[in-house]
Chain A
Amino acid sequence: MIKLVGYEAINWLLVILGEVLVAIGVFCDLMGALGMLRFPNFFVRLHAATVGTIGGAVVPILGAALIAAGCDFLGYYRWFMAGAALVTAVLILIIAPAGSHVLARATHKSKTVPVEPKVVDMLEEEESKGGG
């Protein structure tokens, strides 16, 4: 009986922790979407994209992994779901910054969007001086 109570308590702890992470992630996701809509140009919107991907995707996936690990009504496959969700979170943590950096670099080099609020742009000076 004592052992059963401890098992239930661990499940509840995992689920509550996961729900806190999912709630933080949903808030970040909504803020990232609003920023993506309201910010003035591409290089400013990169900030909203970071809030929307790292805060809005990685954090809720980690929380969903904790929830899946704590829900024993999902059956045996809950360990598969928790592990796959963890792999997805780490993968997005690696490839989302890589993707947005690649896109920002290409946009800057091809001059598709002007760099609007800027103080100094060393990369552009270097390209115009050294010929690319």
Chain B
Amino acid sequence: MSLEAHVTTFLACIIPIYVVAFLIYVVRVVKGPSISDRVLAVDALSFDLAAFLVILGILFRTAILVPIAIVLALWVYALDVYVAKYLEAREMGD
């Protein structure tokens, strides 16, 4: 078995487990009783989506998917800080 076939098979087996984890996170995002639960679930979902993008980049032999993961992680951190600011001060800030 060549290296390329080995890596492709392994990553193709990893993909469905990630998709199942994403679906479970989405259940919590929809169900979450409070705004904090939803934001926490979106947080974990997006960081895992960043890992998924890197794996897809190897599987599709596309280097351009990896910098998108950096941007996604930074925007989710911005979402955390915005929601925390709103919860604490009841305003979005100037």
Residues of A within 8 A of B (CB): 8, 11-12, 15, 19, 22-23, 25-26, 29-30, 32-34, 36-37, 42, 45-46, 48-49, 52-53, 56-57, 60-61, 64-65, 67-68, 70-75, 77-78, 80-81, 84-85, 87-88, 91-92, 95-96, 98-100, 102-103, 105-107, 109-110, 112-113
Contacts and interface: CB of A to CB of B under 8 A. Distances in A.
Nearest to A52: B44
Nearest to A96: B47
Interface of B: 3-4, 6-7, 10-11, 14, 17-18, 20-22, 24-25, 27-28, 34-37, 39-41, 43-44, 47-48, 50-51, 54-55, 57-58, 61, 63, 66-67, 69-70, 73-74, 76-77, 80-81, 83-85, 87-88
A67 B7 contact: yes
Residue among A42, A53, A68 with max Cβ neighbours from chain B (10 Å): A53
A20 B10 CA distance: 11
The prevalent SS among residues of B at the interface is helix
Contacts of B34: 42, 107, 112-113
A103 B36 contact: yes
22 contacts: A11-B3, A22-B11, A29-B17, A29-B51, A36-B24, A49-B44, A57-B47, A61-B69, A71-B4, A71-B7, A71-B58, A78-B63, A85-B69, A91-B70, A96-B43, A96-B47, A99-B77, A105-B88, A106-B36, A107-B84, A107-B87, A109-B87
Nearest to B21: A33
B81 A36 contact: no
Contact of A100 (B3, B17, B40): B40
Contacts of B55: 22, 60, 64
Contacts of A22: 10-11, 14, 55
